[in-house]
Amino acid sequence: MRQTQQDKKEAGLDPETQTQRKRFLEAIAGGSTVCEAVKAAGISRATVYRWRDEDPVFSQSWYDAWEDYVDSLEAMARRRVTSPSNTMLLRLLSAYRPEVFGDHKPRNGKQSMPVPEETPEQIRERVNRDLARKRAELEARAESGDLIAQIELSEGAVNGLGTGTRDGRA
């Protein structure tokens, strides 16, 4: 069996650090935020960012784990393509893979990876704020008599903000 660079690098680490790194990377690959992943690994954010900055192999492993998560989002979106609840997935994919799901501008591979300034958790919070703002605007338009807004709210046709489905079932 061929050893990966991460396996070779970890061979020089103490068993506790190896376990912490493995737990962190598994959590990231599973879609956890950095905050959730460091809790799962029992370490601090500062520790993983130091590891990332000082160890290119760990940095690449983190990036690969994050890519695994984004790949799973893409697969999920493809399975749910007809679902009206797909909006959040598409927004996350647009943020993480703009070259495929967003503005179609190619990016250097690592540029689309979240940086400490905006974590996946912060992206989710920003998207949730945007959705809440859009829903409030839509509700205000509906209350002022805008028939289109009323229909969109009742059918959930705009960004999955309504309560029903496109076929009228609740």
**Per-domain residue ranges for the chain?**
1-69
Instruction: Pull the structure tokens for residue 62.
Output: 């983190």
- pLDDT tens for 48-59 read 999 999 999 999
Please state the pTM of the whole predicted model: 0.47
83-118: b (≥16 Cβ within 10 Å) or e: ebebbbbbbbbebbbbeebbeeeeeeeeebbbeeee
3-state secondary structure (DSSP) of residue 143: helix
**HSE-CB of 66 using CA atoms within 13 angstroms:** 22
Distance CA 20, CA 23 (A): 5
The whole-number pLDDT of residue 133 equals 86
> Which of 146, 128, 126, 130 minimizes the C-alpha distance to 138?
146
Average pLDDT (133-155) is 81
Query: Would the CA dihedral through 89, 91, 93, 99 be positive or negative?
Result: positive
Structure letter (DSSP) for residue 110: G
Distance CA 167, CA 83 (A): 11
Pair 54, 84: CB distance under 8 Å: no
Q: Which range is least confidently modeled, 12-21, 59-68, 101-110?
A: 101-110
Q: Mean pLDDT over all residues of the chain? A: 76
Distance CA 87, CA 69 (A): 17
Distance CA 44, CA 46 (A): 5
1 pLDDT higher than 50 = no
